[in-house]
Amino acid sequence: MSLELKSSSKSFGGEQRIYAHASAETKTAMRFGLYLPPGEGPFPALFWLSGLTCTEENFIAKAGAQRLAAALGLVIVAPDTSPRGPDVPDDPDGAYDFGLGAGFYVDAAEAPWSAHYRMRSYVEKELYALVLSEFPVAEGRVGIFGHSMGGHGALTMALRDPARFRSVSAFAPIASPMNCPWGRKALAGYLGADESRWREYDACALIEDGARVADMLVDQGTADPFLEEQLKPALLVKACAAAGQPLALRRQEGYDHSYYFIASFVDDHLRWHHERLTA
């Protein structure tokens, strides 16, 4: 698979790069950020999944993760949040929570979205295989984390395949898309009206249906404006408690939904993943 290096900047002895490539899954050009730490590797790696309206650039520009990633020897991969291009459909009303920038990390089953919106398979299969084949990443030492819509994506991907993603954490994830406006709009639009098809894209439903990971870390700001209506961490706490699924949910007093929140605690998440990926 041909990779095009779009940019590279020296950062803490390593390199922050952005790549583009033609995706077989989305049938579009896709971009992703990749932080390569100093040294020869092979390195453990983390996939970061961003939230609504974001691209591959938000995390790499705002989270401030490169310093500790360099010290720990972690590769960080940050894909875009949806396919893009002139032939890719968008929400007809131009809404921010569906269509471009809002792929929800699902494989769409409904037209016209099904032709390109295959972010689940893009991340889990295509990009995962590409990163392991082209970069010095240690096989079996890959974790995943994300924010908001991307936190939903990270939790569901790890729960569906804990062997592929050995560790998982999230910032302010959409804990149960089946039970919030953002999620119900996206799942109905991409997957259709049959809610039984939605369960594999809902962390709480996956846990209820028997999916498990070794443990998970979730940070949630108490001043997040989306806390009660959209994120609903209490549903995740309830599902984990009922199933005996280990969960460390930290309520961070006064923090909101922004990258100021993420940057404040990203080092904790990097250390948490590194401990599990190098054990």
Residues 6+ apart with CB under 8 A from 14: 35, 36, 37, 38, 66, 69, 70
Among 50, 219, 224, 273, the active-site one is: 224
For residue 208, what is the domain's CATH number?
3.40.50.1820
Q: Does residue 200 contact residue 191 with C-beta atoms inside 8 Å? A: no
Q: Which two tokens stand for residue 98?
A: 């569906």
Range of the domain at 17: 3-277
Q: What is the mean pLDDT of the chain?
A: 98
Cα distance between residue 94 and residue 100, in whole Å: 9
The total number of structural domains in the chain stands at 1
Among 23, 148, 167, 169, the active-site one is: 148
Q: Does residue 247 contact residue 216 with C-beta atoms inside 8 Å? A: yes
Is 148 one of the catalytic residues?
yes
Cα distance between residue 71 and residue 63, in whole Å: 16
Res 14 pLDDT > 80 = yes
Is 256 one of the catalytic residues?
no
Among 257, 269, 273, 274, the active-site one is: 257
Is 274 one of the catalytic residues?
no
Q: What is the pLDDT of residue 185?
A: 98
Q: What is the pLDDT of residues 156-198, one digit of tens each?
A: 999 999 999 999 999 999 999 999 999 999 999 999 999 999 9
Q: What is the pLDDT of residues 112-150, one digit of tens each?
A: 999 999 999 999 999 999 999 999 999 999 999 999 999
Tally of CB atoms within 10 A around 181: 12
